[in-house]
Amino acid sequence: MIQPDQTVQPRPIEIEINEGDISVISRGLNEGEQVVADGQNQLRAGAKVSTKPAGQPGRAPKPEARGPAPEAR
């Protein structure tokens, strides 16, 4: 879940139905709460995020923005 200070806090949820890009959450969220829908596996509790309107894809960082690539051995 996205907190008011734009940080994330993991929370367990239960998905009742999942069909394509649509999921019905039966437990774990309240109406109006914002969630991370893309890239959540890269986040840690307390990480800062920015929000985008629904339906707009996020952008992955360029490889050089993540630091140098490890050298091949």
Tens of pLDDT, residue by residue over 30-66, are: 988 888 877 888 889 999 988 777 665 555 554 444 4
DSSP-based three-state secondary structure for 15: strand
pLDDT value, residue 65: 46
pLDDT value, residue 50: 85
Alpha carbon distance 5, 2 (integer Å): 8
Chain-centroid distance of CA 41 in Å reads: 7
Model confidence at 4: pLDDT above 80: yes
14-36 pLDDT, tens digit each = 999 999 888 899 999 998 888 88
How many residues can be counted in the chain? 73
Q: Which residues, 6 or more positions from 46, have their beta carbon under 8 angstroms from its beta carbon?
A: 7, 8, 9
- The one-letter amino acid code at 35 reads V
Q: In the chain, where are the structural domains located? A: 1-50
